[in-house]
Structure formats: C-alpha cells, structure tokens
Amino acid sequence: MRVLVVEDEAALRDTLKARLVDAGFTVDVAQDGEEGLFAGLEYPLDVAIIDLGLPKLAGLEVIRRLRAARKSYPILILTARDNWQDKVEGLQAGADDYVAKPFHFEEVLARLQALLRRAGGWATPELKCGPVALDTRAQTVKVDGQPVELTTFEYRILEHLMLRAGDVISKAELTERLYDQDFERDSNVIEVLVGRLRRKLDPHDQLRPIETLRGRGYRFALARNQAPPAAAR
Ligand code: CA
C-alpha cells in the first residue's frame, strides 16, 4: 500500500515515515501544501495523511483540490487537539477521518488500515475469501485454518489483491504501490513473487486463488465471504 504523508514538522514527518515503512507501507512525503498537492495528484496512492496547518497551501485547500481533481483515495487529516472546527471543515472538504495531535502512532495506523479496508469494501480487519483468511492487523495468512508463511513482499502483494478481491490489478500498479522508487521496477519480479504466492497458498493447484488476465494483470478470484457494502468506493 502506498501512502503520502504531508506534514511540515520535519521530526514528525520523519517519524511517521519510519513507522509506516516498518508497518509495511511504501511512503512518499511532502513538506508543504504545494508539494503535497503535486504528489497527491501525480503519484499512484492508496491513501494520504494530510496535516491541516501547512505552509504555502493550507491542508484544507489541498484536500479540496484533490477531490475536485477526482482523486478518491481515503484521506486522514491531522488536526489540533481541541479544534473541532478543523475536524468539521476537514471532513466537509473531503477527508475521511482525522487524528488529533499529539497522537500515538498506533492510532494513525489503525485508522489508516480501517480506511483502506473500507475503500476495498471490507468491514472487518480479517479478509476472508473462500478458505483464504488474511488478518491485516497481525499480517498473517491462513488457508483452511493453517498458517502460511509469507515474505514481506508476498504478504504485501496478497493484501493488495485481497483488499480489492474481484478487481483486476495491473502489474504496473502492484509495482508502483509496493516498492519504493529506488527499487528496480521490473515486472518480472512481480511475476516471480505471484508464482511463489500461488505455490504457497495452493500447493496442489486446486484453489487457483490468483488469476492472470493476459495483458491486464491479476485478480484475486476466490469469492469474498462477506458481501461488499453497496456504497464501497
Ligand atoms: Ca503543521
């Protein structure tokens, strides 16, 4: 999952970035509203964290312009502790949730994960499709109740595919959202990882959880054990 952090306080920005990378996110950062707007418009993001008090362009204005440009990924705003007007205005501008400063990182992470789940049409932190169950909090995967050991990148690919189970995800999208800019963007790497993931989830080639659509990408093909809400995405 690729997240943008727009925050002008350097220490906070660095901390957020480090903790989010630890939590498995690919992280882009911006230090003012103009940079944030540019990154928000140009990068292939899954979610954004935007501080409201920003130099050059206010956070509220960044959000309004992103939404006016039809960017629909979830946005979490950072607000001052006792400023309820900020929260209301932020939500009205198009943000999806807020965290008041100072915050515990765990709260930011829990809210981000909830926003990503809901954007994918999932109501609970455990994503279940047929016999495959992925727990987004513990970052664990089970098939028929048996734990499956995945590497970090295998897990990230599976989480991305399962969050949007039923949708076709291109190789380009997987590469852009799962790797930092400095990683060699080779779609063969994705093919190899998907191949390994298939063998781990489905050693006897019976489930066929991940479908390849020639020239288009991959789709997590097992039906969700929970109907997506009508208003999803
Ligand atoms: Ca600020």
The CATH number linked to 181 is 1.10.10.10
Residue 128: how many other CB atoms lie within 10 Å: 19
Cα–Cα distance, 20 to 138 (Å, whole number): 15
Specify whether 141 is located in the same domain as 219. yes
Specify whether 145 is located in the same domain as 72. no
Give the CB-side neighbour count of residue 200, counting CA atoms within 13 A. Answer: 18
Q: Which of 119, 152, 181 is the last residue of a domain?
A: 119
- Is 166 in contact with 124 (CB distance < 8 Å)? no
d(CA 113, ligand 1 centre) in Å = 23
According to DSSP, the β-strands at 168-169 and 210-213 are unpaired
> What is the pLDDT, as a whole number, of residue 83?
83
Over residues 56-74, the mean pLDDT reads 97
Specify whether 167 is located in the same domain as 87. no
- pLDDT tens, residue by residue, 94-147: 999 999 999 999 999 999 999 999 999 998 889 999 999 999 989 999 999 999
Over residues 25-47, the mean pLDDT reads 96
On the question of a cis peptide bond just before residue 147, with omega within 30 degrees of 0, the verdict is no
| Ranges assigned E (strand) in the chain | 2-6, 26-30, 47-51, 75-80, 97-101, 126-129, 132-135, 140-143, 146-148, 168-169, 210-213, 217-220
Question: How many distinct structural domains can be found in the chain?
Answer: 2
Specify whether 49 is located in the same domain as 88. yes
Specify whether 112 is located in the same domain as 6. yes
Residue 124: how many other CB atoms lie within 10 Å: 11
d(CA 209, ligand 1 centre) in Å = 44
Cα–Cα distance, 146 to 164 (Å, whole number): 23
d(CA 8, ligand 1 centre) in Å = 5
Q: For position 97, which CATH number holds?
A: 3.40.50.2300
Specify whether 38 is located in the same domain as 68. yes
pTM for the full model? 0.87
Specify whether 102 is located in the same domain as 39. yes
Specify whether 85 is located in the same domain as 148. no
- pLDDT tens, residue by residue, 163-190: 999 999 998 888 888 776 555 667 788 8
Q: Which of 119, 144, 167 is the last residue of a domain?
A: 119
- Which sign, positive or negative, has the C-alpha torsion 61, 66, 70, 76? negative
d(CA 46, ligand 1 centre) in Å = 22
Taking alpha carbons only, the member of 196, 123, 210 closest to residue 160 is 210
Specify whether 190 is located in the same domain as 106. no
d(CA 42, ligand 1 centre) in Å = 22
d(CA 157, ligand 1 centre) in Å = 33
Residues having C-beta closer than 5 Å to ion ligand 1? 8, 51, 53
Structural domain including 106 reads 2-119
> What is the pLDDT, as a whole number, of residue 224?
93
d(CA 17, ligand 1 centre) in Å = 16
Band (233; pLDDT cuts 50, 70, 90): very low
Cα–Cα distance, 111 to 115 (Å, whole number): 6
d(CA 5, ligand 1 centre) in Å = 12
Cα–Cα distance, 160 to 175 (Å, whole number): 11
d(CA 54, ligand 1 centre) in Å = 5
Range scoring the smallest mean pLDDT among 29-33, 34-38, 80-84, 159-163: 80-84
Specify whether 112 is located in the same domain as 139. no
d(CA 52, ligand 1 centre) in Å = 6
d(CA 51, ligand 1 centre) in Å = 6
